[in-house]
A and B are shown apart, each in its own frame.
Chain A
């Protein structure tokens, strides 16, 4: 699993990347009450706002950590947005993307680097 400074995680299997927000991000946002996801088939460029996560208090953008085409979205979050808080790095995933270039994923932080980054916040 790889991580971004915007607190997204990416788990690459073959050429399909599963993407979500980190436990740190979920904790900072507080209780998630709504998640807006992109449509399957949408072409994402790294840095695009791809989803919006709403807590009781505020809305926050989630940015595409890599480029690729959305192949699946987590419909479970429509009925149970709280899953993002309960299992942010497992069943609280947001989208699956067919990556344009797998090397993009390698360029992201590994867990140790991300945790060092968190320690600086």
Chain B
């Protein structure tokens, strides 16, 4: 995304798309659909992606909170990791494929239940975050020894190379990023998708399954990155336009670009990789400790485990927090965070205007002593100090689907601990 603090009007962030060198950018299977809708495209992670449609970011954001937003996230990196020689013993095969990827991540892959989809982190040897990603275990007894992965667009080449290497001769990585990944997010998502893909209403939050569709197979997870209930649908490229068109035909659905995806995830308190977490931040600093497996912490068998265990015991040097900016302009990435006396204590890693709250919000890093909700701080925007206060994350309540019970299991699946 374009986050320059200050851009002249001729800056690419507001230039018409025809100046984008299309031969240098990849397009998704939905490029024609975006053009027909009048999308404004922006280069993102090597793809020409819709940043907004004619309705604009504000309306697209609020529509997603109230109804159902339709997002093309085909630039992301879905893939499957499969044992090359499964034994046919489902449990043993799952343990074997989990063992291939676990050395790269801090999460419990082995302990995934059939059908479960989990947020985890790829780490470097220093415990820095190389990427955040989803890993799922298929539900079907005949599909064990296989994992469904979705990594970030900007990091997918490096992620896929690392995972393929880790798989060695035991597990083979197959990329699925030549298809379409379509997200439907919002309180009306289930009512929209269920008639088209019967059965998806039965999925619990953070689970996934395969569904037949027009002679092909869709991989559908009940997940997303907006804080709302909804689905992410992996479809073969040949089905993408038809599925998109059938979803758009529903009055409850509006197309939503990456601009509103960014403001939605910010309100939901979800970190954007490369901004709110990167190779220099540990999961403890990034306030992502829910992604650390207890079993694996005990065994210390993931990259950077020693640093992470020390930070859990002694506290990190800095931690990611939410900030409500109480006056003035939005504080964007790079803005300094100071204490009320003006001493610099941290930096904003993403920020903008919250359409739901009607004011500016941000995320950034501060020392733990200044991280308690309610702490008065300041942000510096264009040389001017503006009052801010540390806020609980998420800024807007998550409205993920929860099956009535068992309550404990749902809590375990929740993206954010205690949310």
Given contacts A33-B330, A54-B353, A56-B355, contact A61 B58 (CB under 8 A): no
Query: Would A34 and B330 count as touching, CB distance under 8 A?
Result: yes
The answer to whether B9 and A57 have CB atoms under 8 Å apart is no
Inter-subunit contact B9/A59 (CB<8 Å): no
Residues of B within 8 A of A36 (CB): 328-329, 382
Contact of A30 among B8, B16, B52, B332 (CB under 8 A): B52
Q: A33 to B353, Cβ gap below 8 A?
A: yes
Cβ of B51 within 8 Å of any chain A Cβ, yes or no, is: yes
Contact of B332 with A60 in the complex, beta carbons under 8 Å: no
Interface string of A63-92 (1 = CB under 8 A from B): 100000000000000000000000000000
Across-interface contacts of A52 in B (CB, < 8 A): 6, 329, 382
* A30-B52, A34-B329 known; A59 vs B6 contact (CB < 8 Å): yes
Residues of A within 8 A of B260 (CB): 56
The docked-state distance in angstroms from the alpha carbon of A33 to that of B58 is 10
A25 in complex: contacting residue of B9, B58, B59, CB < 8 Å:
B9
Contacting pair A59 B57 (CB below 8 A): no
Question: Would you give the 0/1 interface string for B1-16, flagging 1 where the beta carbon is closer than 8 Å to chain A?
Answer: 1111111111101111
What CA separation (Å) do A29 and B353 show in the bound complex? Answer: 14
Closest Cβ of chain B: how far from A94's Cβ, in Å?
A: 14
A104 to B4, CA, bound (A): 31
Question: In the assembled complex, how far is the CB of residue B224 from the closest CB belonging to chain A, in whole angstroms?
Answer: 20
Which B-chain residue is minimally distant from A24 (CB atoms)? B9
CA distance A36 to B6 in the complex (A): 12
Check if B353 sits within 8 Å of A34, measured CB to CB: yes
Tell whether, in the assembled complex, residue A61 and residue B57 are in contact, meaning their CB atoms are under 8 Å apart.
no
Q: Is the CB of A60 within 8 A of B6?
A: yes
Give bound CA distance, A117 to B317, whole Å. 53
B322 is an interface residue with CB less than 8 A from chain A: no
Instruction: Indicate with 1 or 0, residue by residue over B23-52, a CB within 8 angstroms of chain A CB atoms.
Output: 000000000000000000000000000011
Q: A6 near B: Cβ within 8 Å?
A: yes
Report A-chain residues with C-beta under 8 Å of the C-beta of B4: 58-59
Pick the residue among B3, B15, B61 that contacts A58 (CB under 8 A): B3
Known: A54-B329, A54-B330. A60 touches B8 (CB 8 A): yes
Interchain nearest-CB distance for A50 vs B (Å): 13
Q: Which residues does chain A contribute within 8 Å of B107, judged by CB atoms?
A: none
Q: A56-B263, A56-B352, A60-B11 are in contact. Are A31 and B329 (CB under 8 A)?
A: no
B283 at the A/B interface (Cβ < 8 Å)? no
Q: Is the interface of B mostly helix, strand, loop or mixed?
A: loop
B364 within 8 A of A: no
- Interface status of A121 (Cβ within 8 A of chain B): yes
- Tell me which residues across on chain A come within 8 A of B1, comparing CB atoms: 57
The winner among B13, B263, B360 for most chain A CB atoms within 10 A is B13
Alpha-carbon distance between A52 and B11 when the two chains are bound, in angstroms:
14
Residues of chain B within 8 A of A55, CB atoms compared: 57
- Whose C-beta in chain A lies nearest to the C-beta of B2? A58
From residue B222, how far is it (CB to closest CB) to chain A in Å?
28
A28 on the interface (CB 8 Å rule)? yes
Q: Which residues of A contact B332 (CB under 8 A)?
A: 58-59
**Which among B7, B15, B56 is the interface contact of A31 at CB below 8 angstroms?**
B56
Chain B residues, CB < 8 A from A25: 9, 14
- Residue on B with the closest CB to A62? B9
Q: Knowing A33-B353, A54-B353, say if A60 contacts B56 (CB, 8 Å).
A: no
Binding site for B on A (CB under 8 A): 5-7, 25, 28-31, 33-34, 36, 49, 52, 54-61, 63, 121
Q: Top 8 A-B pairs ranked by shortest CB distance?
A: A31-B58, A28-B14, A33-B353, A56-B57, A34-B329, A7-B9, A56-B353, A60-B7
Known: A34-B330, A56-B263. 14 other contacts (CB 8 A): A54-B353, A55-B57, A56-B259, A56-B353, A57-B2, A58-B3, A58-B14, A59-B5, A59-B329, A59-B332, A60-B13, A60-B14, A61-B6, A61-B8
5 A-B contacts, Cβ less than 8 Å apart?
A: A52-B329, A56-B58, A57-B51, A59-B5, A121-B15
